[in-house]
Structure 1
């Protein structure tokens, strides 16, 4: 079973955002005073916002991607 292009795009963006946020929080954990568990939980916030942004992008931009760019200016729309 194949995942639709939008689902794959959104999953990649969400996973990347979560990993970037988690790694960043772990790197500055001594400064922020967050434990590893707290860092993992806090990193879920921007990942969740990425899902919301991607869903909006599917409605406002191209239907098959999570990008917010309108189809007329989206480089992926040009062939």
Structure 2
């Protein structure tokens, strides 16, 4: 017997996959954006590429935490904090 209040297994698996792809895209893009901006900002201060990579890593870690908070806050298939996304 199928419970009308619960989604099907296929819906849950597809939703989890969609969420994982969305979150991975956001984390990678945040890292790249922070890394490039870190390179631009570290050049005048004579800092190296590893410091820029560390800046990018911190940005990506924060994007990951934000995506997880968005998932816990509202059961959706998106890593966005915006409603309806």
TM-score tier after normalising by the smaller chain length: 0.7 to 0.9
Per the TM alignment, residue 62 of structure 1 is displaced from its structure 2 partner at its CA by 4.3
The number of aligned residues is: 71
Per the TM alignment, residue 43 of structure 1 is displaced from its structure 2 partner at its CA by 1.2
TM-score normalised per structure 2: 0.72
**Greater than 4 Å deviation, 4+ residue runs:** none
TM-score normalised per structure 1: 0.77
2:65 corresponds to which residue? 52
Per the TM alignment, residue 5 of structure 1 is displaced from its structure 2 partner at its CA by 0.6
- Mapped to 1, the partners of 2:45 and 2:58 lie a distance apart of 16
Please tell me whether residue 64 in structure 1 is matched to residue 77 in structure 2: yes
2:3 corresponds to which residue? none
- Mapped to 2, the partners of 1:37 and 1:13 lie a distance apart of 22
SS of the equivalent of 1:66 reads coil
Q: Which has the larger radius of gyration?
A: 2
SS of the equivalent of 1:33 reads coil
Unaligned runs of 5+ in 2: 1-13
Unaligned runs of 5+ in 1: none
- Mapped to 2, the partners of 1:9 and 1:48 lie a distance apart of 15
